[in-house]
Amino acid sequence: MIFRTLVAAGVAASCFFALPAAANESTLAKVKQTSTLKLGYRENSAPFSFVGDDKKAHGYSIDLCMRVAGDIAKQLDIPKLDVQWVPVTAQSRFEALKNGEIDIECGNTTQTLARRADFDFSLMTFVDGAALLYRRGENPKSLADVKGQRIAVVKGTTTEKAMEQLVASEKLGILLLKVKDHDEALAALQNKTATAYAADRTVLITTALLGGDGQTYTIAEHQFTYEPYGLMMRRDADLRLAVDSSLAHLYRSGEIGPILQNWFGALGKPGELLMVMILLNGLPE
């Protein structure tokens, strides 16, 4: 009886200690085994990630992830990789990665040291900064001019944290209207629930152009954050290296040019900071 008990305990213990290994199986090994790669995308973060009229994911980050997926398929010798697109929000993207619902998040997520404590990030994919969008003719000269008024900001973003710190430090009495996404923020600006909308400059420009309903807007010149975007993943050195290798070749070869032109050409020539980012991240083999 004692022998049986010891054997049972040993089996239970071996199963217990085997769990972390299974849980920590590398993403690339899982992709190889299942021939499936799950990519998360934002539904309304144009021009980086959004749903088109065909109900499919489109955008700058989507194109980068498709390039990454193709290179991973070649690396793992997978004849037909099943790329599954999973919608996420600014709030759900982190849990989706932790829970294994997605393998890579393809949006406009800012790399921060706090986020790097929990997730891996690729080489930088874009450089932006937060600004304020106003209705045309209502652009104040400074934040002091919107004292006591509402500024819309999407929950779960770095802009939300930046605005909270800015409001607290300046003691302006500004009220933050925290919304779920860019569409809701623009609606608040249109119906005058908010005086301004705080978000990354490129997102503001594109959101206003696509969803303006004929209204015209002004973007404040002042840029109050630094937003280095990257593709976000679970902590996995092999996957990160595969993603970085793909992006570095894309930058180094110049093949990133047509992709940039396709998604940002209408906004004018790429800024010098973005071009330097591409040059610095085109790492040699």
Q: Environment class of residue 255 by beta-carbon count within 10 Å: exposed (0-12), middle (13-18) or buried (19+)?
A: exposed
Residue 258 pairs in a beta bridge with none
Shortest CA distance to 154 belongs to which of 51, 42, 9? 42
pLDDT of residue 266: 79
b/e per residue 92-125 (b: at least 16 CB within 10 A): bbbebbeeeebbbbbbbbbbeeebeeebbbbbbb
String of DSSP letters for 157-177: SHHHHHHHHHHHHHT--PEEE
Is the overall model pTM greater than 0.85, yes or no? no
HSE of 62, CA atoms in CB hemisphere, 13 A: 23
Q: Under 8 Å CB-to-CB from 103, ≥6 apart: which residues?
A: 27, 31, 37, 38, 39, 97, 233, 234, 239
Locate the domains of the chain by residue range: 25-128+228-281, 130-219
pLDDT of residue 215: 66
CA distances from 174 to 60, 186, 188, 194 (A): 33, 18, 15, 11
pLDDT tens, position by position, 19-73: 333 456 899 999 999 999 999 999 999 999 999 999 999 999 999 999 999 999 9
Tell me the torsion sign for CA atoms 174, 179, 182, 183.
Answer: negative
φ, ψ of residue 156 to 5 degrees: the values are: 85, 10
CA distances from 86 to 42, 45, 49, 104 (A): 9, 14, 12, 10
pLDDT of residue 7: 39
Class of domain 130-219: alpha beta
Residue 70 tokens read as 């193709």
Residue 185 pairs in a beta bridge with none
The SS3 of residue 11 is helix
HSE of 20, CA atoms in CB hemisphere, 13 A: 3
CA distances from 126 to 26, 168, 203 (A): 27, 29, 12
Matching CATH topology for 25-128+228-281 and 130-219? yes
The SS3 of residue 14 is helix
φ, ψ of residue 51 to 5 degrees: the values are: -95, 125
pLDDT of residue 38: 98
Average pLDDT, the chain: 87
pLDDT of residue 218: 86
Residues in the chain: 285
CATH number belonging to domain 25-128+228-281: 3.40.190.10
Sites in the chain below the pLDDT cut of 70: 1-24, 143, 209-215
